[in-house]
Amino acid sequence: MTVSATASSRLSPAVLMGIVGAVTAPVVGLLLGRVDVITVGLPLALWVVHAFRVDAAAVAVEIHKRTSDDPGWVHDDIRVEPAAEIVEVSVVQSDRRRRRVFVAGGARIRASSRALHSGPLRSVEAAARALAADGGRLGPASESVAVVHAVPAAAPRLTRMPVAPRLTGLHGSHEGAKPGQGGDFRDIHPFAPGDELRRVDWKATARAARRPGELLIRRTNALSDASAVIVLDTADDLGSVVSTWGTTDLRRSGVTSLDHARSAARAIAEATIAQGDRIAFHTLAIDGRTVRSGGGRRHLARVLSEIASSGRAGDDSRFRRTPPVPHGSIIHVLSVFFDGAAAEIALRWRAVGHRVVAVDVLPELDLRRLNLQRELALQVLLAERQDMLRRLEESGVEVVRWDGDHGRGWAALSRARVRAGGASR
């Protein structure tokens, strides 16, 4: 990213001090009759004349992302072009640390910022101006340039993912309900045009054929692939420290709900693609991020990039249109379920026959530094949330909490999938 300035340069305040010194030194020297004092003003006068005659050129700021294997840190290179005598660079790191650095033009400044949370991180914002005549002339300041990194979330490995009870795909690793190849035994059926001779069950033919020449074949179920959808609610980003709710202080907030949501979304996406299924991703926001259903490693890379780039959408960005989901999908809705929008859309999908999993990503709460009024308000808010989750369970939505023991909850969902799949057949 590069931005340059076009305004003209100007004199620095130091030139005024130089003019005062160039005039005062000869006057004082004449009054005192000292030649050495008079000569002090000569270099100051020459420097002032030089500052009036030279010009400080406009500079351009370039920031390049730098790859690193250091987890939890992001690195950038800041360069100022073209070369100048002295360049003053103002750097803001992670929207909290401000520094002013003086370097030679063309020099490279390496900035490293610690990523406290996953998701979009504006690691560096920089602006620069050239200084000529030893700081006597100030060049035009360039516009601020910022770089945003998409910090991926750490995610556990889920060994088995739940799928929808009814599978519509034709290729995959899950037992389907349609006749085909690769699955378990389905039935014995009379031979029909299009059937393969190698599937003739000679023992069944000899035992159960009703007329001469009739052949019976052994049919199996087809193996199908499944379709999963991740729906991320970005309306709230609540930290574990309740006293920071309503603020943008992410240094003291602890782990946030969107940290858990991005971790859960990544784990679900990786596990779904690993077992040969298709995945789609949507965010519940106006003009939210959307990745259509697909499979394979390249599609997984696109989904993970969108997950890492998903930040808080804001209070006025509630979605207006329900995201499209493939028929026969299992839908994972990731939310804190304080706002009724996520629960409403989960109930809507469940009503039309989709299998819906509500993933509660609210972190463990730290109630320290709360006064009595805020504690009472929090209790009311949590009670309303609990009623909402209970309503989801009563409507057939499976509720799972994303906490430290992820494997147990997802294993229970997989067992429920087996029971639901058997009932559907």
Mind listing the pLDDT tens digit for each residue in 144-173?
888 898 888 888 888 777 777 666 655 555
Instruction: Return d(Cα 400, Cα 335) in angstroms, integer.
Output: 11
Enumerate residues 6+ apart whose C-beta is below 8 A from 14. 135, 136
Residue 325 one-letter amino acid: V
33: left (phi over 0), alpha (psi -120 to 50) or beta: left
The three-class DSSP label of residue 340 is helix
For strands 355-360 and 398-401, give the pairing.
parallel
Structure confidence at residue 425 (pLDDT): 33
Tens digit of pLDDT for each residue in 290-300?
Answer: 899 888 899 99
CATH architecture, range 227-424: 3-Layer(aba) Sandwich (3.40)
Interatomic CA distance for residues 407 and 348, integer angstroms = 28
Domain ranges of the chain: 1-151, 174-224, 227-424
Query: Six-digit token pair at 263?
Result: 């971790």
Q: Report residue 270's pLDDT band, with 50, 70 and 90 as the boundaries.
A: very high
CB 15 within 8 A of CB 51: yes
**Contact 133/51 with Cβ under 8 angstroms?**
yes
**Could you give the CA distance from residue 102 to residue 126 in angstroms, rounded to a whole number?**
13
> Is the separation of the CB atoms in 190 and 196 below 8 Å?
no
CA pair distance 107, 85, nearest whole angstrom: 11
What is the number of alpha carbons within 13 Å of residue 291 lying toward its C-beta?
25
Q: How far apart are CA 63 and CA 60, in angstroms?
A: 10
Alpha-carbon torsion (254, 257, 262, 263), positive or negative: positive
pLDDT > 70? residue 415: no
Q: What is the pLDDT of residues 197-249, one digit of tens each?
A: 676 666 666 677 777 767 777 666 555 667 889 999 988 889 999 888 877 77
Residues 385 and 340: beta-carbon distance below 8 Å:
no
- C-alpha gyration radius of the chain: 34
Which range, of 6-10, 68-72, 100-104, 206-210, averages the lowest pLDDT?
A: 6-10
> β-strands 119-132, 145-151: how paired?
antiparallel
Assign 3 a pLDDT band (cuts: 50, 70, 90): very low
Whether residue 82 has a cis bond before it, omega within 30° of 0: yes
Q: Are 282 and 290 in contact (CB under 8 A)?
A: yes
The answer to whether residues 224 and 167 touch, using CB atoms and an 8 Å cutoff, is yes
Encoding tokens for residue 106? 């063309």
Q: Where are the beta strands (DSSP E) in 191-235?
A: 216-224, 227-232
Residue 367, token pair as written in the block: 């109630």
Q: Mean pLDDT for the chain?
A: 80
**Superfamily holding 1-151:** Immunoglobulins (2.60.40.10)
Decide whether 1-151 matches 227-424 in CATH topology: no
Query: What number is the average pLDDT over the span 314-336?
Result: 77
- Tell me how many degrees the CA angle 93-98-101 measures, rounded to the nearest 5: 100
Q: Could you tell me if 363 and 260 are in contact, meaning their C-beta atoms sit under 8 angstroms apart?
A: yes
Position 22 scores a pLDDT of 80
Rounded CA separation 112/385 (Å): 40
Question: CA 288 to CA 139: how far, in whole Å?
Answer: 41
φ and ψ at residue 293, rounded to 5 degrees:
-65, 140
Quick one: which of 365, 156, 347 has its CA closest to 266?
Answer: 156
Residue 264: the pLDDT is 92
Q: What is the pTM (predicted TM-score) of this model?
A: 0.76
Place of tokens 């309740």: 242
Residue carrying the six token digits 């009024």: 373
- Parallel/antiparallel/unpaired status of strands 108-114 and 329-335: unpaired
What burial letters (b/e) apply to 220-237, b meaning 16+ CB within 10 Å?
bbbbbbbbbbbbbbbbbb
